[in-house]
Amino acid sequence: MSPLKALFAGFALAWVVVWGYIWIVGRRASAIERRLQVLERASDQQDEHDR
């Protein structure tokens, strides 16, 4: 493996790991946000119904 190829491979692997982690965290955040919105809407509707 030439030094330049190794450099490219090393940086690419590091990039994939860091961005992969950020992507996973982002997906988890959007799932939580969706669920929170659904629950908050349901909670508001129930409050209105109770009144």
Concatenated DSSP letters for 10-38?
HHHHHHHHHHHHHHHHHHHHHHHHHHHHH
Q: Which two tokens stand for residue 50?
A: 């109770």
Alpha-carbon gap, residue 27 to 6, rounded angstroms: 31
Residues from 6 through 35 that contact another protein (CB under 8 A): 6-7, 9-11, 13-14, 17-18, 21-23, 25-30, 32-33, 35
Examine residue 40 and tell whether it contacts another protein (CB under 8 A): yes
By CB under 8 A, name the binding residues for another protein: 1-4, 6-7, 9-11, 13-14, 17-18, 21-23, 25-30, 32-33, 35-36, 39-40, 42-43, 46, 49-50
